[in-house]
């Protein structure tokens, strides 16, 4: 019977969490402790790998939401710990209304009591609490320093918050202590945003940048497996952007800082996006930003970060020519860069230029065997859509001539069939493979490709002759036997026997499955030849020789062998 209560039910929990997290949550019911019921929210602790704090919001009439500080929950998922709390509440649903009412009464009573205290009594109360509660005292000290504009005091406190010293053992913050450190470091973000709110945004900018550097130094010595410091870095980036929007700093200086930051070692932690600052930088600042980025790229043309920044800024400004020029300065020998340029030009609606760049890519590639196949595909698609199918065939032919692979053959076949010239192209392609197969050093590989393409064409007889003349691997011989079994059972039987023989000396379930598959094919050949007695004798001898291999015997029994 479905149990429910104010939007909370087993069905809703399963829907929110998914089947797997719901089932895993069932095993955490005994790990839930410290349940506190408020008017609409319920909090608790759930002991998993470590202790996690969970909160369910029951204010919605039809839906439930929740938060958990476990790694999975921090990604926005409804985790097993939330499921465990929800299921725990369902077992206590009869008492929930009364507990909500009691929580509301307590909150109202506390508010009324505090409101009735004199200023002196309230100060005495707060002073007493901060004397006993160190974390509360430090938070209030930080807020006080921010409120009175004590920049030196705020800076000193932020440095303390980001100092890993109190959490380290042998100079490193272990996983078990990383959460406590990140909780403490997170107070720095609150302090910086408070400075902005109090009208000291310029100071907040400076402190945000300093905090980013301190956090980047700290992360090297913290086991941040849960990614908490990464989220703190993103929070500092948001605080910096908010402060810049409030303070409107010098656009040239901000542009210089953004380029240095994005190309430095800190950006992976903070994820600062220069384009987010466009409204702060204005036209002049964005122009300086682009020029500085371009200068950094010119100084280090092989730098991925420099190239990516220039490309992003150019695209955002609609400067396709700048994007093309940047790629043109570093063309890959495979033609891949030509394809990238063609894609950019296509996006800008400059399709003829895109085609020209792609064709230039083919011309610039010295060895078609090394060409980016996506470039060949792009050109052939463009040719086909423009009713230039013959040109697509020529390109596919040249590519096959350089590659000599089954896939290149299949692509040539598709293009030639579309252009109604496959018979001619096939003769030339097969002649090329046969010529390769006749060269001693290339015989093994070329012969293998020749057999593959003939099998792919469905020309079993020609494939059989090629395998006999030029050789084939076991996979190909098996495919040939399977194809020829109906018409040439004796030849197929010979192949099955040859392939089965080495398997009889090996062990393992995979080997047994392969061997039994061959035995079934051999039995079919004997049936077609009318020599079932020979098959029976072969299987009996095999059973006698390998009767100790129980899994093989069981598998043979399952298939009536």
Structurally, the chain folds into a number of domains equal to 3
**Same-domain pairing of 185 and 83:** no
Q: In 76-221, which ranges are E strands? A: none
Do 45 and 155 sit in the same domain of this protein?
no
Report if residue 157 sits inside a domain: yes
CA nearest to 103, candidates 44, 59, 38, 42: 38
Note whether 190 and 110 are same-domain residues. Answer: no
In angstroms, the Cα distances linking 63 to 6, 13, 56, 58 are 8, 10, 11, 8
Residues 83 and 143 in one domain: no
177 with 152, same domain: the answer is yes
User: pLDDT at position 5, please?
Assistant: 45
Q: Which of 99, 116, 133 corresponds to the end of one domain?
A: 116
The answer to whether residue 494 sits within a structural domain is yes
Residues 97 and 211 in one domain: no
pLDDT at 62: 66
Find the domain containing 71 and state its range.
4-116
Residue 392: exposed, middle, or buried by beta-carbon count in 10 A (0-12, 13-18, 19+)? buried
Mark which of 100, 116, 132 sits at the end of a domain. 116
pLDDT of residue 447: 57
Together in a domain, 111 and 123: no
Backbone angles phi, psi at 5, to 5 degrees: -175, 110
Question: Is residue 41 in some structural domain?
Answer: yes
Question: Whole-model pTM?
Answer: 0.62
Element holding 358 (H helix, E strand): helix 351-364
Q: What is the rounded CA–CA span in Å between residue 556 and residue 543?
A: 9
Answer yes or no: is 200 within a domain: yes
354 neighbors 390 (Cβ within 8 angstroms): no
Residue 187 shares a structural domain with residue 68: no
Structure tokens at 153: 């005091």
Non-local (6+) Cβ contacts of 325 within 8 A are none
Q: Is the same domain home to 110 and 132?
A: no
Shortest CA distance to 74 belongs to which of 266, 224, 191, 240? 224
Per-residue model confidence as pLDDT tens for the chain (561 residues): 233 345 688 888 998 999 889 999 999 999 999 888 887 789 999 987 788 889 998 876 667 889 898 888 887 889 999 999 999 999 888 888 888 888 888 888 888 998 998 999 899 998 988 888 877 887 787 777 777 777 888 888 889 889 998 888 888 988 888 888 888 888 899 889 888 988 889 999 999 999 999 999 998 899 988 788 888 999 999 999 999 999 999 999 999 999 999 998 777 788 899 999 999 999 999 999 999 999 999 898 888 889 889 888 988 888 899 889 888 888 899 999 999 999 999 999 999 999 999 999 999 988 889 999 999 999 999 999 999 999 999 999 999 999 899 999 999 999 999 999 999 999 999 999 988 887 765 445 555 899 999 999 999 999 999 998 888 889 999 999 999 999 999 999 999 999 999 999 999 999 999 999 999 999 999 999 999 999 999 999 999 999 889 999 999 999 998
pLDDT at 303: 86
Of 249, 269, 285, the last residue of a domain is: 249
User: What single-letter DSSP state applies at residue 48?
Assistant: S
State how far the Cα of 390 lies from the Cα of 117, in Å rounded to an integer: 92
Residues 553 and 505 in one domain: yes
Rg, C-alpha atoms of the chain? 36
Residue 210 lies in a domain: yes
Strands across the sheet containing 41-47? 32-37, 41-47, 51-57, 65-68
Whether 160 and 106 share a structural domain: no
Residues 452, 445: Cα–Cα separation, whole Å:
11
- In this structure, the answer to whether residues 44 and 126 fall within a common structural domain is no
406, part of any domain? no
The pLDDT of residue 293 is 92
Decide if 375 is inside a domain: no
CA atoms within 13 A on the CB side of 186: 12
Q: Are 94 and 38 in contact (CB under 8 A)?
A: no
Give the C-alpha separation, 517 to 495, whole Å.
13
């Amino acid at each position: 019977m479905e149990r429910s209560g104010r939007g909370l039910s087993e069905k809703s929990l399963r829907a929110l969490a998914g089947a797997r997290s719901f089932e895993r949550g069932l095993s955490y019911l005994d790990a839930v402790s410290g349940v506190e019921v408020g008017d609409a929210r319920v909090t608790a602790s759930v002991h998993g790998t470590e202790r996690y704090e969970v909160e369910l919001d029951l204010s919605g009439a039809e839906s439930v939401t929740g938060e958990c500080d476990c790694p999975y929950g921090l990604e926005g998922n409804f985790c097993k710990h939330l499921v465990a709390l929800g299921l725990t509440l369902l077992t206590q649903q009869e008492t929930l209304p009364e507990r909500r009412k009691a929580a509301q009464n307590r909150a109202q009573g506390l508010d009324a009591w505090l409101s009735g205290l004199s200023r002196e009594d309230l100060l005495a109360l707060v002073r007493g609490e901060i004397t006993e509660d160190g974390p509360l005292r430090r938070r209030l000290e930080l807020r006080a320093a921010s409120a009175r504009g004590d920049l030196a005091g705020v800076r000193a406190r932020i440095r303390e918050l980001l100092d890993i010293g109190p959490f380290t053992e042998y100079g490193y913050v272990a996983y078990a202590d990383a959460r406590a450190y990140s909780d403490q470091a997170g107070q720095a973000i609150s302090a910086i945003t408070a400075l902005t709110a109090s009208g000291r945004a310029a100071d907040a900018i400076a402190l945000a940048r300093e905090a980013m550097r301190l956090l980047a130094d700290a992360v090297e010595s913290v086991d941040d497996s849960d990614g908490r410091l990464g989220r703190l870095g993103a929070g500092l980036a948001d605080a910096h952007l908010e402060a810049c929007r409030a303070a409107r700093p010098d656009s040239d200086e901000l542009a210089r800082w953004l380029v240095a930051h994005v190309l430095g070692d800190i950006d992976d932690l903070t994820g600062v996006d220069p384009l987010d600052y466009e409204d702060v930088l204005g036209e002049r600042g964005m122009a300086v930003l682009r020029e500085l980025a371009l200068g950094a790229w010119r100084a280090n043309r092989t730098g991925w970060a420099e190239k990516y920044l220039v490309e992003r800024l150019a695209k955002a400004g609609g400067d396709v020519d700048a994007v093309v020029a940047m790629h043109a300065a570093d063309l890959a020998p495979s033609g891949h860069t030509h394809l990238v340029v063609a894609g950019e030009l296509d996006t800008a609606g400059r399709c003829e230029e895109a085609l020209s760049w792609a064709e230039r890519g083919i011309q610039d590639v010295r060895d078609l065997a090394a060409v980016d196949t996506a470039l060949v595909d792009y050109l052939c698609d463009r040719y086909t859509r423009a009713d230039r199918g013959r040109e697509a065939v020529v390109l596919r032919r040249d590519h096959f001539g350089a590659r000599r692979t089954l896939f290149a053959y299949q692509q040539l076949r598709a293009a030639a069939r579309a252009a109604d010239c496959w018979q001619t192209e096939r003769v030339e392609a097969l002649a090329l493979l046969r010529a390769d197969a006749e060269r001693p050093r290339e015989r093994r590989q070329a012969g293998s490709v020749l057999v593959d393409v003939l099998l792919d064409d469905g020309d079993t007889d020609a494939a059989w002759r090629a395998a006999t003349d030029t050789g084939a691997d076991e996979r190909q011989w098996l495919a040939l036997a399977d194809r020829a079994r109906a018409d040439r059972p004796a030849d197929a039987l010979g192949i099955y026997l040859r392939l089965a023989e080495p398997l009889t000396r090996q062990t393992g379930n995979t080997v047994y499955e392969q061997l039994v598959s061959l035995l079934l094919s051999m039995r079919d050949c004997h049936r077609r030849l009318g020599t079932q007695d020979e098959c029976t004798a072969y299987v009996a001898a095999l059973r006698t020789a390998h009767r100790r291999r129980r899994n093989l015997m069981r598998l043979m029994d399952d298939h009536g062998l």
